[in-house]
């Protein structure tokens, strides 16, 4: 799945893409720069930027992210969303 949002602003976050969202399980997946897919929990992820709730996220959306170790292993701990690019 290619990033369709165009180039992202430079910042201190790694860049990835939301590949899957599971609202019924309060979970989602971000494909990170290495190609690995890393989960996040709606309950514990910190959202920055445009999205104010995990329900504002969309599959295929380019995001900034930060990783952290949890009792369940490595997970996305922060997601930064960017303004939608005009078409």
Domains of the chain: 14-81 (2.40.50.140)
pLDDT at 4: 47
pLDDT at 9: 55
Residue 1 burial class via C-beta count within 10 angstroms: exposed 0-12, middle 13-18, buried 19 and up: exposed
User: For each of the chain's 87 residues, which pLDDT tens digit applies?
Assistant: 444 445 555 678 899 999 999 999 999 999 999 999 999 999 999 999 999 999 999 999 999 999 999 888 999 999 999 987 766
pLDDT at 12: 83
The answer to whether the predicted template modeling score (pTM) of the entire model surpasses 0.85 is no
Q: Would you tell me how many other CB atoms lie within 10 Å of the CB of residue 87?
A: 3
């Amino acid at each position: 799945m290619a990033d369709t949002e165009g180039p992202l602003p430079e910042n201190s976050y790694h860049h990835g893409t939301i590949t899957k969202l599971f609202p019924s399980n309060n979970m989602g997946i971000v494909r990170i720069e290495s190609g690995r897919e890393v989960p996040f929990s709606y309950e514990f992820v910190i959202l920055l930027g445009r999205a104010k709730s995990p329900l504002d996220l969309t599959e295929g959306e380019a995001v900034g992210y930060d990783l952290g170790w949890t009792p369940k292993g490595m997970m996305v701990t922060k997601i930064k969303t960017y303004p939608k690019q005009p078409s």
